[in-house]
Structure 1
Amino acid sequence: MIDSRAIVDPSAKLANDVEVGPWSIIGPDVEIGAGTVVGPHVVIKGPTKIGCNNRIFQFASVGEDCQDKKYAGEPTTLTIGDHNVIREGVTIHRGTIQDAGTTTIGSHNLFMAYAHVAHDCVVGDHVIMANNTAIAGHVHVGDWSILGGFTAVHQFCKIGSHVMCGTSTVVLKDIPAYVMANGNTATPHGINTEGLKRRGFSTEAISQIKRAYKSLYRKKLTVAQALSELQVMAESCPEIEPLIDSVKNSSRGIIR
Protein backbone atom coordinates (compact mmCIF):
# COMPACT_ATOMS: atom_id res chain seq x y z
CA MET A 1 0.00 0.00 0.00
CA ILE A 2 3.03 2.28 0.48
CA ASP A 3 5.13 2.64 -2.64
CA SER A 4 8.77 1.71 -2.17
CA ARG A 5 9.79 5.10 -3.56
CA ALA A 6 7.85 7.02 -0.88
CA ILE A 7 9.53 8.29 2.29
CA VAL A 8 7.51 7.73 5.47
CA ASP A 9 8.97 8.74 8.81
CA PRO A 10 9.04 5.80 11.26
CA SER A 11 7.11 7.86 13.83
CA ALA A 12 4.21 8.59 11.46
CA LYS A 13 1.02 6.65 12.27
CA LEU A 14 -0.77 5.34 9.20
CA ALA A 15 -3.76 2.99 9.24
CA ASN A 16 -3.04 -0.39 7.66
CA ASP A 17 -4.88 0.34 4.43
CA VAL A 18 -3.53 3.85 3.76
CA GLU A 19 -2.06 4.16 0.26
CA VAL A 20 0.98 6.36 -0.38
CA GLY A 21 2.18 6.98 -3.93
CA PRO A 22 5.75 7.23 -5.23
CA TRP A 23 7.98 10.12 -4.21
CA SER A 24 5.60 11.32 -1.51
CA ILE A 25 7.03 12.36 1.87
CA ILE A 26 5.19 11.73 5.14
CA GLY A 27 6.94 13.45 8.04
CA PRO A 28 7.01 12.80 11.79
CA ASP A 29 3.95 13.58 13.95
CA VAL A 30 1.58 12.73 11.10
CA GLU A 31 -1.48 10.53 11.63
CA ILE A 32 -3.54 9.28 8.68
CA GLY A 33 -6.82 7.39 9.07
CA ALA A 34 -8.17 4.32 7.32
CA GLY A 35 -9.07 4.42 3.65
CA THR A 36 -7.07 7.56 2.86
CA VAL A 37 -5.17 7.65 -0.43
CA VAL A 38 -2.09 9.87 -0.79
CA GLY A 39 -1.01 10.28 -4.39
CA PRO A 40 2.50 10.74 -5.78
CA HIS A 41 4.71 13.75 -5.00
CA VAL A 42 2.66 14.79 -1.94
CA VAL A 43 4.34 16.33 1.12
CA ILE A 44 2.62 16.00 4.52
CA LYS A 45 4.31 17.63 7.49
CA GLY A 46 3.30 17.35 11.14
CA PRO A 47 1.94 17.76 13.62
CA THR A 48 -0.96 16.86 11.35
CA LYS A 49 -3.91 14.53 11.90
CA ILE A 50 -5.87 13.37 8.85
CA GLY A 51 -9.07 11.35 9.20
CA CYS A 52 -10.54 8.53 7.15
CA ASN A 53 -11.28 8.13 3.43
CA ASN A 54 -9.58 11.28 2.26
CA ARG A 55 -7.92 11.52 -1.15
CA ILE A 56 -4.88 13.75 -1.64
CA PHE A 57 -3.67 14.29 -5.19
CA GLN A 58 -0.19 14.89 -6.53
CA PHE A 59 1.90 17.92 -5.59
CA ALA A 60 -0.32 18.90 -2.65
CA SER A 61 1.47 20.34 0.41
CA VAL A 62 -0.40 19.56 3.63
CA GLY A 63 0.61 20.68 7.12
CA GLU A 64 3.54 22.87 6.13
CA ASP A 65 4.81 25.77 8.27
CA CYS A 66 2.69 28.86 7.73
CA GLN A 67 3.76 32.00 5.89
CA ASP A 68 3.06 34.33 8.83
CA LYS A 69 6.29 36.26 9.52
CA LYS A 70 5.61 36.01 13.26
CA TYR A 71 5.80 32.23 13.12
CA ALA A 72 8.96 31.05 14.90
CA GLY A 73 8.75 27.28 14.54
CA GLU A 74 6.25 26.55 17.31
CA PRO A 75 4.68 23.04 17.16
CA THR A 76 1.28 24.10 15.85
CA THR A 77 -1.16 21.65 14.28
CA LEU A 78 -3.44 20.83 11.38
CA THR A 79 -6.54 18.68 11.77
CA ILE A 80 -8.45 17.32 8.77
CA GLY A 81 -11.69 15.32 9.01
CA ASP A 82 -13.04 12.57 6.77
CA HIS A 83 -13.99 12.16 3.10
CA ASN A 84 -12.17 15.25 1.84
CA VAL A 85 -10.74 15.57 -1.66
CA ILE A 86 -7.57 17.65 -1.91
CA ARG A 87 -6.64 18.15 -5.54
CA GLU A 88 -3.38 18.93 -7.33
CA GLY A 89 -1.17 21.66 -5.92
CA VAL A 90 -3.38 22.49 -2.93
CA THR A 91 -1.57 24.04 0.05
CA ILE A 92 -2.90 23.80 3.62
CA HIS A 93 -0.82 25.30 6.43
CA ARG A 94 -0.77 24.65 10.17
CA GLY A 95 -1.82 27.24 12.75
CA THR A 96 0.01 29.84 14.84
CA ILE A 97 0.20 30.52 18.55
CA GLN A 98 -1.36 33.92 17.90
CA ASP A 99 -4.66 32.07 17.44
CA ALA A 100 -5.79 28.64 18.65
CA GLY A 101 -2.60 27.05 17.37
CA THR A 102 -4.38 24.90 14.79
CA THR A 103 -5.90 24.93 11.34
CA THR A 104 -9.11 22.90 11.23
CA ILE A 105 -10.72 21.28 8.19
CA GLY A 106 -14.05 19.46 8.53
CA SER A 107 -15.38 16.61 6.40
CA HIS A 108 -16.76 16.08 2.87
CA ASN A 109 -14.96 19.11 1.44
CA LEU A 110 -13.54 19.57 -2.05
CA PHE A 111 -10.41 21.67 -2.50
CA MET A 112 -9.88 22.04 -6.22
CA ALA A 113 -6.47 22.48 -7.84
CA TYR A 114 -4.14 25.12 -6.40
CA ALA A 115 -6.50 26.27 -3.65
CA HIS A 116 -4.79 27.65 -0.53
CA VAL A 117 -5.86 27.42 3.11
CA ALA A 118 -3.71 29.59 5.35
CA HIS A 119 -2.83 29.29 9.02
CA ASP A 120 -5.53 29.18 11.70
CA CYS A 121 -8.41 28.84 9.25
CA VAL A 122 -11.53 26.92 10.20
CA VAL A 123 -13.32 25.26 7.28
CA GLY A 124 -16.62 23.48 8.02
CA ASP A 125 -18.22 20.55 6.20
CA HIS A 126 -19.35 20.16 2.57
CA VAL A 127 -17.38 23.23 1.46
CA ILE A 128 -16.15 23.65 -2.12
CA MET A 129 -13.14 25.84 -2.85
CA ALA A 130 -12.74 26.04 -6.61
CA ASN A 131 -9.45 26.33 -8.49
CA ASN A 132 -6.97 28.95 -7.24
CA THR A 133 -9.19 30.13 -4.39
CA ALA A 134 -7.14 31.47 -1.49
CA ILE A 135 -8.24 32.14 2.07
CA ALA A 136 -5.86 34.11 4.28
CA GLY A 137 -5.05 33.47 7.92
CA HIS A 138 -7.77 33.14 10.57
CA VAL A 139 -10.61 32.90 8.02
CA HIS A 140 -13.71 30.89 8.98
CA VAL A 141 -15.81 29.24 6.26
CA GLY A 142 -19.23 27.83 7.18
CA ASP A 143 -20.79 24.54 6.12
CA TRP A 144 -22.00 24.09 2.52
CA SER A 145 -20.33 27.27 1.27
CA ILE A 146 -18.97 27.46 -2.29
CA LEU A 147 -16.11 29.78 -3.20
CA GLY A 148 -15.78 30.25 -6.95
CA GLY A 149 -12.44 30.04 -8.72
CA PHE A 150 -9.85 32.71 -7.91
CA THR A 151 -11.84 33.95 -4.91
CA ALA A 152 -9.57 35.77 -2.45
CA VAL A 153 -10.57 36.18 1.20
CA HIS A 154 -8.90 38.69 3.53
CA GLN A 155 -7.54 37.52 6.88
CA PHE A 156 -9.97 37.24 9.81
CA CYS A 157 -13.05 37.28 7.54
CA LYS A 158 -15.97 34.98 8.30
CA ILE A 159 -18.05 33.37 5.57
CA GLY A 160 -21.40 32.05 6.78
CA SER A 161 -23.01 28.73 5.96
CA HIS A 162 -24.60 28.17 2.52
CA VAL A 163 -22.80 31.19 1.03
CA MET A 164 -21.88 31.27 -2.64
CA CYS A 165 -19.12 33.50 -4.03
CA GLY A 166 -18.76 34.11 -7.75
CA THR A 167 -15.54 33.73 -9.69
CA SER A 168 -12.74 36.16 -8.75
CA THR A 169 -14.65 37.58 -5.79
CA VAL A 170 -12.52 39.65 -3.41
CA VAL A 171 -13.82 39.33 0.15
CA LEU A 172 -12.72 42.06 2.57
CA LYS A 173 -15.64 41.86 5.02
CA ASP A 174 -17.77 39.07 6.46
CA ILE A 175 -20.47 37.43 4.35
CA PRO A 176 -23.62 36.45 6.28
CA ALA A 177 -25.15 33.00 5.96
CA TYR A 178 -27.15 32.19 2.79
CA VAL A 179 -25.89 35.23 0.85
CA MET A 180 -24.57 35.16 -2.72
CA ALA A 181 -21.65 37.55 -3.23
CA ASN A 182 -19.64 38.67 -6.21
CA GLY A 183 -17.23 41.34 -7.34
CA ASN A 184 -14.14 43.28 -6.32
CA THR A 185 -14.89 44.07 -3.62
CA ALA A 186 -17.69 41.63 -2.77
CA THR A 187 -21.25 42.89 -2.78
CA PRO A 188 -24.43 40.93 -1.95
CA HIS A 189 -26.62 39.57 -4.75
CA GLY A 190 -29.55 37.89 -3.02
CA ILE A 191 -29.63 34.53 -1.28
CA ASN A 192 -28.39 31.17 -2.49
CA THR A 193 -31.87 29.92 -3.36
CA GLU A 194 -30.85 27.06 -5.62
CA GLY A 195 -28.37 25.74 -3.10
CA LEU A 196 -30.97 25.81 -0.33
CA LYS A 197 -33.44 23.89 -2.51
CA ARG A 198 -30.83 21.22 -3.20
CA ARG A 199 -30.19 20.85 0.53
CA GLY A 200 -33.84 20.30 1.39
CA PHE A 201 -34.91 23.70 2.72
CA SER A 202 -38.67 24.05 2.48
CA THR A 203 -40.33 26.58 0.20
CA GLU A 204 -41.63 28.43 3.27
CA ALA A 205 -38.20 28.57 4.91
CA ILE A 206 -36.61 29.93 1.72
CA SER A 207 -39.35 32.53 1.47
CA GLN A 208 -38.70 33.66 5.04
CA ILE A 209 -34.93 33.80 4.45
CA LYS A 210 -35.62 36.04 1.45
CA ARG A 211 -37.70 38.32 3.67
CA ALA A 212 -34.86 38.43 6.17
CA TYR A 213 -32.42 39.32 3.39
CA LYS A 214 -34.64 42.23 2.36
CA SER A 215 -34.64 43.53 5.92
CA LEU A 216 -30.87 43.35 6.05
CA TYR A 217 -30.10 44.71 2.59
CA ARG A 218 -33.08 46.35 0.88
CA LYS A 219 -34.92 48.39 3.52
CA LYS A 220 -32.06 50.80 4.27
CA LEU A 221 -32.04 49.81 7.93
CA THR A 222 -29.03 49.92 10.20
CA VAL A 223 -27.60 46.53 11.11
CA ALA A 224 -29.08 46.87 14.60
CA GLN A 225 -32.53 47.68 13.21
CA ALA A 226 -32.36 44.80 10.76
CA LEU A 227 -31.32 42.39 13.51
CA SER A 228 -34.39 43.38 15.52
CA GLU A 229 -36.62 42.45 12.59
CA LEU A 230 -34.72 39.21 11.98
CA GLN A 231 -35.09 38.12 15.59
CA VAL A 232 -38.87 38.50 15.33
CA MET A 233 -38.89 36.44 12.11
CA ALA A 234 -36.76 33.74 13.71
CA GLU A 235 -39.47 33.06 16.29
CA SER A 236 -41.49 31.34 13.56
CA CYS A 237 -38.61 30.36 11.27
CA PRO A 238 -35.56 28.91 13.04
CA GLU A 239 -33.67 28.73 9.72
CA ILE A 240 -33.07 32.47 10.10
CA GLU A 241 -30.93 31.91 13.22
CA PRO A 242 -27.70 31.20 11.25
CA LEU A 243 -28.16 34.51 9.45
CA ILE A 244 -28.61 36.33 12.76
CA ASP A 245 -25.60 34.61 14.29
CA SER A 246 -23.32 35.40 11.36
CA VAL A 247 -24.23 39.09 11.58
CA LYS A 248 -23.93 39.24 15.37
CA ASN A 249 -20.57 37.46 15.36
CA SER A 250 -19.04 39.63 12.66
CA SER A 251 -15.82 41.32 13.72
CA ARG A 252 -14.94 43.01 10.43
CA GLY A 253 -18.45 44.13 9.52
CA ILE A 254 -20.60 42.51 6.85
CA ILE A 255 -20.66 43.20 3.14
CA ARG A 256 -23.42 45.70 2.34
Structure 2
Amino acid sequence: MVVDPSARIHPTALVENGAEIGAGAVVGPFSVVGPKVRLAARVEVKSHAIVTGLTEIGEGTVIFPFANIGDIPQDLKYAGEDTRLVIGARNRIREGVTMNTGTAGGGGLTRVGDDCLFMTGSHVGHDAQVGNGVIMANHAALAGHCVIGDGVIIGGLSGIHQWVRVGQGAIIGAVTMVTNDVIPYGLVQGPRGVLDGLNLVGLKRRGVAREEIAALRAAFQSLAQGEGTFLDRARRLSEDASSAHVREMVDFVLADTDRSFLTPG
Protein backbone atom coordinates (compact mmCIF):
# COMPACT_ATOMS: atom_id res chain seq x y z
CA MET A 1 0.00 0.00 0.00
CA VAL A 2 1.34 3.44 -0.98
CA VAL A 3 -0.33 6.37 0.80
CA ASP A 4 0.88 9.92 0.32
CA PRO A 5 1.60 11.57 3.70
CA SER A 6 -0.89 14.35 2.92
CA ALA A 7 -3.78 11.95 2.29
CA ARG A 8 -6.45 11.60 4.97
CA ILE A 9 -7.95 8.20 5.66
CA HIS A 10 -10.67 7.88 8.27
CA PRO A 11 -9.87 5.24 10.92
CA THR A 12 -13.03 3.29 10.07
CA ALA A 13 -12.20 3.09 6.34
CA LEU A 14 -10.73 -0.09 4.87
CA VAL A 15 -7.87 0.57 2.46
CA GLU A 16 -6.47 -2.78 1.35
CA ASN A 17 -2.79 -3.56 0.83
CA GLY A 18 -1.67 -2.64 -2.66
CA ALA A 19 -3.87 0.45 -3.05
CA GLU A 20 -2.23 3.74 -4.05
CA ILE A 21 -3.58 6.94 -2.48
CA GLY A 22 -2.38 10.25 -3.94
CA ALA A 23 -1.55 13.61 -2.40
CA GLY A 24 -4.42 15.31 -0.62
CA ALA A 25 -6.83 12.44 -1.25
CA VAL A 26 -9.54 11.76 1.31
CA VAL A 27 -11.15 8.42 2.16
CA GLY A 28 -14.19 8.84 4.37
CA PRO A 29 -15.70 6.75 7.14
CA PHE A 30 -16.69 3.15 6.44
CA SER A 31 -15.53 3.31 2.82
CA VAL A 32 -13.63 0.49 1.09
CA VAL A 33 -10.71 0.93 -1.31
CA GLY A 34 -9.54 -2.28 -2.96
CA PRO A 35 -5.97 -3.56 -3.40
CA LYS A 36 -5.70 -2.68 -7.13
CA VAL A 37 -7.16 0.83 -6.88
CA ARG A 38 -5.21 4.02 -7.68
CA LEU A 39 -6.59 7.30 -6.39
CA ALA A 40 -4.87 10.36 -7.87
CA ALA A 41 -4.28 13.64 -6.06
CA ARG A 42 -7.25 15.27 -4.33
CA VAL A 43 -9.69 12.43 -5.00
CA GLU A 44 -12.37 12.29 -2.32
CA VAL A 45 -14.17 9.06 -1.48
CA LYS A 46 -16.98 9.99 0.86
CA SER A 47 -18.46 7.75 3.54
CA HIS A 48 -19.80 4.28 2.75
CA ALA A 49 -18.54 4.22 -0.86
CA ILE A 50 -16.77 1.24 -2.47
CA VAL A 51 -13.95 1.55 -5.00
CA THR A 52 -12.65 -1.82 -6.08
CA GLY A 53 -11.26 -3.76 -9.04
CA LEU A 54 -8.42 -2.64 -11.27
CA THR A 55 -9.57 0.96 -11.11
CA GLU A 56 -7.89 4.36 -11.61
CA ILE A 57 -9.55 7.59 -10.46
CA GLY A 58 -8.26 10.91 -11.83
CA GLU A 59 -7.39 14.09 -9.94
CA GLY A 60 -10.09 15.93 -8.05
CA THR A 61 -12.86 13.41 -8.67
CA VAL A 62 -15.40 13.12 -5.85
CA ILE A 63 -17.26 9.87 -5.13
CA PHE A 64 -20.35 10.23 -2.96
CA PRO A 65 -21.82 7.79 -0.40
CA PHE A 66 -22.99 4.32 -1.45
CA ALA A 67 -21.48 4.49 -4.92
CA ASN A 68 -19.97 1.20 -6.11
CA ILE A 69 -17.12 1.86 -8.52
CA GLY A 70 -15.04 -0.80 -10.29
CA ASP A 71 -16.95 -3.95 -9.46
CA ILE A 72 -17.16 -6.84 -11.91
CA PRO A 73 -19.22 -6.59 -15.12
CA GLN A 74 -22.88 -7.55 -15.14
CA ASP A 75 -22.21 -10.01 -17.93
CA LEU A 76 -22.60 -13.78 -17.62
CA LYS A 77 -19.66 -14.29 -19.99
CA TYR A 78 -17.29 -12.65 -17.52
CA ALA A 79 -14.95 -15.32 -16.15
CA GLY A 80 -12.88 -13.41 -13.60
CA GLU A 81 -10.25 -11.99 -15.95
CA ASP A 82 -8.41 -8.80 -14.98
CA THR A 83 -10.15 -5.91 -16.69
CA ARG A 84 -10.04 -2.18 -15.95
CA LEU A 85 -12.02 0.94 -15.18
CA VAL A 86 -10.31 4.29 -15.84
CA ILE A 87 -12.04 7.48 -14.68
CA GLY A 88 -10.67 10.91 -15.52
CA ALA A 89 -10.32 14.12 -13.54
CA ARG A 90 -12.83 16.35 -11.75
CA ASN A 91 -15.81 14.06 -12.09
CA ARG A 92 -18.77 14.15 -9.69
CA ILE A 93 -20.05 10.65 -9.00
CA ARG A 94 -23.14 10.96 -6.85
CA GLU A 95 -24.91 8.65 -4.42
CA GLY A 96 -25.58 5.10 -5.51
CA VAL A 97 -23.80 5.33 -8.88
CA THR A 98 -22.41 2.07 -10.28
CA MET A 99 -19.58 1.73 -12.80
CA ASN A 100 -18.22 -1.65 -13.90
CA THR A 101 -14.88 -2.79 -15.30
CA GLY A 102 -14.61 -4.12 -18.85
CA THR A 103 -14.76 -7.62 -20.28
CA ALA A 104 -12.18 -9.54 -22.29
CA GLY A 105 -14.54 -9.72 -25.25
CA GLY A 106 -15.18 -5.98 -25.19
CA GLY A 107 -11.60 -4.76 -25.03
CA GLY A 108 -11.12 -5.05 -21.27
CA LEU A 109 -11.57 -1.36 -20.47
CA THR A 110 -14.39 0.88 -19.33
CA ARG A 111 -13.34 4.52 -19.66
CA VAL A 112 -14.84 7.79 -18.37
CA GLY A 113 -13.43 11.17 -19.38
CA ASP A 114 -13.04 14.40 -17.41
CA ASP A 115 -15.53 16.85 -15.89
CA CYS A 116 -18.58 14.60 -15.99
CA LEU A 117 -21.56 14.55 -13.63
CA PHE A 118 -23.19 11.23 -12.80
CA MET A 119 -26.31 11.90 -10.77
CA THR A 120 -27.86 9.61 -8.18
CA GLY A 121 -28.26 5.99 -9.20
CA SER A 122 -26.86 6.28 -12.73
CA HIS A 123 -24.98 3.34 -14.23
CA VAL A 124 -22.04 2.93 -16.62
CA GLY A 125 -21.88 -0.61 -17.98
CA HIS A 126 -18.88 -2.74 -18.95
CA ASP A 127 -16.65 -1.60 -21.83
CA ALA A 128 -18.51 1.72 -22.21
CA GLN A 129 -16.49 4.69 -23.44
CA VAL A 130 -17.72 8.01 -22.03
CA GLY A 131 -16.31 11.34 -23.21
CA ASN A 132 -15.66 14.61 -21.39
CA GLY A 133 -18.32 16.84 -19.88
CA VAL A 134 -21.06 14.20 -20.04
CA ILE A 135 -24.08 14.55 -17.74
CA MET A 136 -26.14 11.51 -16.77
CA ALA A 137 -29.21 12.47 -14.75
CA ASN A 138 -30.78 10.41 -11.99
CA HIS A 139 -31.03 6.66 -12.68
CA ALA A 140 -29.97 6.93 -16.33
CA ALA A 141 -28.13 3.83 -17.53
CA LEU A 142 -25.57 2.89 -20.17
CA ALA A 143 -25.50 -0.75 -21.22
CA GLY A 144 -22.29 -2.49 -22.20
CA HIS A 145 -20.11 -1.25 -25.07
CA CYS A 146 -21.85 2.13 -25.47
CA VAL A 147 -19.82 5.05 -26.84
CA ILE A 148 -20.88 8.48 -25.55
CA GLY A 149 -19.38 11.61 -27.09
CA ASP A 150 -18.24 14.78 -25.35
CA GLY A 151 -20.90 17.02 -23.85
CA VAL A 152 -23.78 14.55 -24.15
CA ILE A 153 -26.69 14.98 -21.71
CA ILE A 154 -28.79 11.92 -20.82
CA GLY A 155 -32.06 12.61 -19.02
CA GLY A 156 -33.28 10.86 -15.89
CA LEU A 157 -34.56 7.27 -16.08
CA SER A 158 -33.31 6.92 -19.66
CA GLY A 159 -31.55 3.85 -21.00
CA ILE A 160 -28.97 3.48 -23.77
CA HIS A 161 -28.98 0.05 -25.47
CA GLN A 162 -25.74 -1.93 -25.68
CA TRP A 163 -23.40 -1.02 -28.56
CA VAL A 164 -25.19 2.27 -29.24
CA ARG A 165 -23.12 5.37 -30.09
CA VAL A 166 -24.33 8.82 -29.05
CA GLY A 167 -22.52 11.61 -30.90
CA GLN A 168 -20.96 14.70 -29.37
CA GLY A 169 -23.32 17.34 -28.04
CA ALA A 170 -26.50 15.25 -28.33
CA ILE A 171 -29.24 15.40 -25.71
CA ILE A 172 -31.50 12.53 -24.65
CA GLY A 173 -34.77 13.48 -22.96
CA ALA A 174 -35.98 11.92 -19.71
CA VAL A 175 -37.61 8.48 -19.62
CA THR A 176 -36.33 7.59 -23.09
CA MET A 177 -35.12 4.24 -24.40
CA VAL A 178 -32.43 4.68 -27.08
CA THR A 179 -31.94 1.60 -29.24
CA ASN A 180 -29.98 3.02 -32.19
CA ASP A 181 -27.13 5.47 -32.82
CA VAL A 182 -27.74 9.19 -32.30
CA ILE A 183 -26.10 11.74 -34.59
CA PRO A 184 -23.89 14.47 -33.06
CA TYR A 185 -25.98 17.38 -31.69
CA GLY A 186 -29.19 15.38 -32.09
CA LEU A 187 -32.26 15.78 -29.87
CA VAL A 188 -33.92 12.50 -28.88
CA GLN A 189 -37.10 12.19 -26.85
CA GLY A 190 -40.14 10.00 -26.33
CA PRO A 191 -40.62 6.70 -24.50
CA ARG A 192 -39.14 4.87 -27.50
CA GLY A 193 -36.63 7.47 -28.56
CA VAL A 194 -37.01 9.23 -31.89
CA LEU A 195 -34.71 11.81 -33.44
CA ASP A 196 -36.75 14.99 -33.08
CA GLY A 197 -34.35 17.72 -34.20
CA LEU A 198 -31.08 19.25 -33.04
CA ASN A 199 -29.87 20.18 -29.58
CA LEU A 200 -30.04 23.90 -30.40
CA VAL A 201 -29.92 25.00 -26.76
CA GLY A 202 -26.76 22.96 -26.21
CA LEU A 203 -25.13 24.34 -29.35
CA LYS A 204 -25.79 27.92 -28.24
CA ARG A 205 -24.49 27.20 -24.74
CA ARG A 206 -21.29 25.83 -26.27
CA GLY A 207 -20.80 29.08 -28.16
CA VAL A 208 -21.14 27.54 -31.62
CA ALA A 209 -21.27 30.28 -34.25
CA ARG A 210 -24.63 31.17 -35.77
CA GLU A 211 -23.50 30.22 -39.27
CA GLU A 212 -22.42 26.79 -38.03
CA ILE A 213 -25.81 26.24 -36.40
CA ALA A 214 -27.51 27.31 -39.64
CA ALA A 215 -25.37 24.81 -41.57
CA LEU A 216 -26.29 22.05 -39.13
CA ARG A 217 -30.00 22.85 -39.44
CA ALA A 218 -29.77 22.72 -43.23
CA ALA A 219 -27.87 19.43 -43.05
CA PHE A 220 -30.46 17.97 -40.68
CA GLN A 221 -33.25 18.91 -43.10
CA SER A 222 -31.36 17.21 -45.92
CA LEU A 223 -30.99 14.07 -43.83
CA ALA A 224 -34.65 14.17 -42.88
CA GLN A 225 -36.29 14.94 -46.22
CA GLY A 226 -33.92 14.21 -49.09
CA GLU A 227 -34.23 11.43 -51.64
CA GLY A 228 -32.92 7.93 -51.01
CA THR A 229 -32.02 6.21 -47.77
CA PHE A 230 -30.61 7.92 -44.69
CA LEU A 231 -27.11 6.74 -45.64
CA ASP A 232 -27.58 7.93 -49.24
CA ARG A 233 -28.43 11.42 -47.97
CA ALA A 234 -25.41 11.40 -45.66
CA ARG A 235 -23.12 10.43 -48.54
CA ARG A 236 -24.43 13.31 -50.64
CA LEU A 237 -23.85 15.70 -47.76
CA SER A 238 -20.28 14.46 -47.46
CA GLU A 239 -19.47 15.61 -50.97
CA ASP A 240 -19.65 19.33 -50.18
CA ALA A 241 -19.78 19.67 -46.39
CA SER A 242 -17.78 22.82 -45.62
CA SER A 243 -18.95 23.20 -42.01
CA ALA A 244 -16.79 21.42 -39.42
CA HIS A 245 -19.89 20.50 -37.40
CA VAL A 246 -21.68 19.12 -40.45
CA ARG A 247 -18.56 17.15 -41.39
CA GLU A 248 -18.48 15.67 -37.86
CA MET A 249 -22.14 14.63 -38.20
CA VAL A 250 -21.60 13.09 -41.64
CA ASP A 251 -18.44 11.25 -40.56
CA PHE A 252 -20.34 9.85 -37.57
CA VAL A 253 -23.14 8.54 -39.79
CA LEU A 254 -20.75 6.99 -42.32
CA ALA A 255 -18.48 5.35 -39.72
CA ASP A 256 -18.64 1.65 -38.90
CA THR A 257 -21.31 0.79 -36.35
CA ASP A 258 -23.05 -2.28 -34.93
CA ARG A 259 -26.42 -0.48 -34.81
CA SER A 260 -28.69 1.32 -37.23
CA PHE A 261 -29.58 5.01 -36.66
CA LEU A 262 -32.38 6.91 -35.09
CA THR A 263 -33.61 8.84 -38.11
CA PRO A 264 -35.68 12.05 -38.23
CA GLY A 265 -39.42 11.48 -37.93
* TM-score normalised per structure 1: 0.97
- 1:15-65 Cα distance to aligned partner (Å, 9 max, x none): 021001100000011001111111000111120011100010000000000
Q: Residue 32 of structure 1 corresponds to which residue in structure 2?
A: 39
Is 2:50 aligned against 1:43? Answer: yes
Structure 1 stretches of 4+ with a deviation exceeding 4 A read none
Equivalents in 2 of 1:240, 1:38: separation in Å?
A: 41
Amino acid corresponding to residue 31 of structure 1 in structure 2 = R
Q: Residue 238 of structure 1 corresponds to which residue in structure 2?
A: 244
Amino acid corresponding to residue 136 of structure 1 in structure 2 = A
Q: How many residues of Structure 1 are paired with residues of Structure 2 in the alignment?
A: 255
- Report sequence identity in percent: 38
Is 2:140 aligned against 1:136? Answer: no
Name which of 4, 15, 22 aligns with 1:8. 15
Name which of 122, 142, 147 aligns with 1:115. 122
- Decide whether the 8 Å contact of 1:233 with 1:240 is kept in 2: no
Q: Residue 203 of structure 1 corresponds to which residue in structure 2?
A: 210
Equivalents in 2 of 1:233, 1:51: separation in Å?
A: 41
Name which of 59, 81, 84 aligns with 2:88. 81
Is 2:30 aligned against 1:23? Answer: yes
Structure 1: 5+ residue stretches without partners = none
Cα distance, 1:220 vs structure 2: 5.0
Cα distance, 1:217 vs structure 2: 1.5
**DSSP 3-state at the match of 1:181:** strand
Q: Residue 166 of structure 2 corresponds to which residue in structure 1?
A: 159
Name which of 93, 100, 105 aligns with 2:107. 100
Equivalents in 2 of 1:127, 1:76: separation in Å?
A: 23
- Decide whether the 8 Å contact of 1:212 with 1:233 is kept in 2: no
**DSSP 3-state at the match of 2:9:** coil
* TM-score normalised per structure 2: 0.94
- Decide whether the 8 Å contact of 1:13 with 1:31 is kept in 2: yes
Q: Residue 68 of structure 1 corresponds to which residue in structure 2?
A: 75
Q: Residue 5 of structure 2 corresponds to which residue in structure 1?
A: none
Equivalents in 1 of 2:244, 2:165: separation in Å?
A: 21
Cα distance, 1:242 vs structure 2: 1.7
